[in-house]
Structure 1
Amino acid sequence: MSTEDLSRNVRRQRLREQRRCLDNDYAQAASLKAAQHLVRDPLWQAQHIALYLSNDGELDPSAIAKAAWEAGKHLYLPVISSSGIQFCPWHVSDALQPNRYGIGEPQGKPVAPGTLELLLLPTVGWSASGFRLGMGGGYYDRFLASNNCETALRFGLAYDCQQDDSLDLLQESWDQPLHGVLTESGIKRFGGGAS
């Protein structure tokens, strides 16, 4: 393992521990605030939104999901397979099957990647340049690199405390940049800003 890999893993562990230590009341309030910021932003015009089920202290997108269903939007969850991830439609009444990480997945037919308009990505750490540090599996980076997702806006969903601009030093050629990040304090756009 290279020094850079070790540094990535050390940073990842520290940032994961930091978010797991957040007070439960704070985490719930942050989820609601993030949803409120999103529904007041032009990003909310998106009708096809991919998100995730929170795990390991991630900012919980359930308030966003509730608002999206109430607004008649289409939601999609990631499904992990041997070839990577795909996104399948998710409805409030769907029964979910746990994957190998114990995270629920819908059992429907995957949607064409070009259908997705807004991807809210789980984020371990992020920088103001648009770098996203994930859990280390590379699922999202491979999906974004190999599919027709040019029209989809990619926003990390994270806490403010997960910002670490020194993460830029750990970027690799395969890392896919974010258009922005959604946190409890608002929406931050990167690289000229996505509308």
Structure 2
Amino acid sequence: MRKGGGLADERRAFRERLRMEAAERFVQGDENAVIAHDLRVSVRSVQRWRKAWSQGGPRDLTSKGPASLPMLNDELFVVLEQELLQGPTAHGWPDQTWTLSRIKTLIGRRFHKSYTVQGVAALLKRHGWSCQVPARRAVERNETAVAGWVKETWPQVEGPWRRSMPGSSSRTRPASR
């Protein structure tokens, strides 16, 4: 299971096996390009591995664990879920809609941790949350006014369609002469 940024445990173990196989090839005196080709990795990776191996031996090629741990661990995420279940109005927002930026603000206020909007999306997705869209339309919606706006106002906002002319940007190639 993936616990934060970086590789999953299985993938990290796989990469470590590749590095150990490269170390065996270093002992045999194989060239970086040959090792990279055989292991299907970049030459630059093999160069980095060889440098680490020459400085500290095979132990320097072992995995150091995940690159980073999540800022909100599982215990803190349970607390966040409880806060989210209270709803946005309990936290001072005027309506019952959770947005990523509101959740980001809530995390900052409650846990004093700074996430990006994309980080909040990844955090929620990692814990099984998904984007939800309201299933019904607003009670106040006036279908006649909407239809009139689409028919009369939108064409003015959108502007007239331009026809392609010679010299205009077009996806078709100009006619050959």
* More helix per residue: 2
State the TM-score, normalized to the length of structure 2: 0.19
* More strand per residue: 1
Instruction: Find the structure with the greater CA-based Rg.
Output: 2
